[in-house]
Amino acid sequence: MTEFIHLPGIGNSGHTHWQSRWENANPAIRRFAPASWDQPDLSDWVEALDQAVRRARTPPVLVAHSLACLLVALWHQRAPSPIKGAFLAAVPDPLSSHFPADAAGFADVPQTPFGFRSLIVASTNDPYGSLPYAETRAKQWGSELKIIGAAGHINGQSDLGDWPEGLELLMDFANRA
C-alpha cells in the first residue's frame, strides 16, 4: 500500500484546501510538521520532511503544494531519503512579485533532475508561478507535466472542493511510480 505525505505550502492548507479534504477522507495520509507554517525556515522544513519520510514504512509519495514543491527540490539535494515519487501542485516562481518575502530561503531552486519520478500539476493562471515557469521546472527536474487549465493557485480559493480530478491524477501517478 502506498503511503502519502502531504506537504502544504506557506500558511498550511486550510479546511477548504484539497489537501485537508483528502486527509479528512483518508486518515492514513500524514502531513509533515515544520515548526512554523507562516515563517518558513528552510533548514527546519527540510528536517521536518526528512523525519516524515524516515518514519514511513515504505518509500512514500510526497504530495506538495506551492512552496513545498520547492522544498522537495531542495530537500532532495540535502537529505535524499528514498521516496516513491513526488506530486507537485502549483510550483511557485521565486522571482514572481507574489512570492512571499518570508520564503526567500527557498529561492535558490536546484535545476538538476530528481532521482525519483515526479509530476508537476500546473494552472494556466497561477499568480505565483507562470505556465512557462512550470514548463521550465518540469524539463529541469525531469518531471511529467499536467496542465489543468485556469485553476488559479490550485488552492482553497480555487473552489476545487474535494478536487476529484486531482485525486485521480495522484492515484494514477502513484500506481505508475
Listed residue (113, 115, 110) closest to 82, CA to CA: 115
Does the domain made of 4-176 have the CATH classification 3.40.50.1820? yes
138: nearest Cα among 87, 83, 74: 87
Summarised one tens digit per residue, pLDDT across range 57-99 is 999 999 999 999 999 999 998 866 899 999 999 999 999 999 9
Check: CB of residue 121 under 8 Å from CB of residue 88: yes
Total residue length of the chain: 177
Is residue 109 scored above 90 in pLDDT?
yes
Going from N- to C-terminal start, the domains of the chain cover: 4-176
pTM assigned to the model? 0.96
pLDDT of residue 42: 97
Q: What is the pLDDT of residues 123-148, one digit of tens each?
A: 999 999 999 999 999 999 999 999 99
Q: How does residue 173 score in pLDDT terms, banded at 50, 70 and 90? A: very high
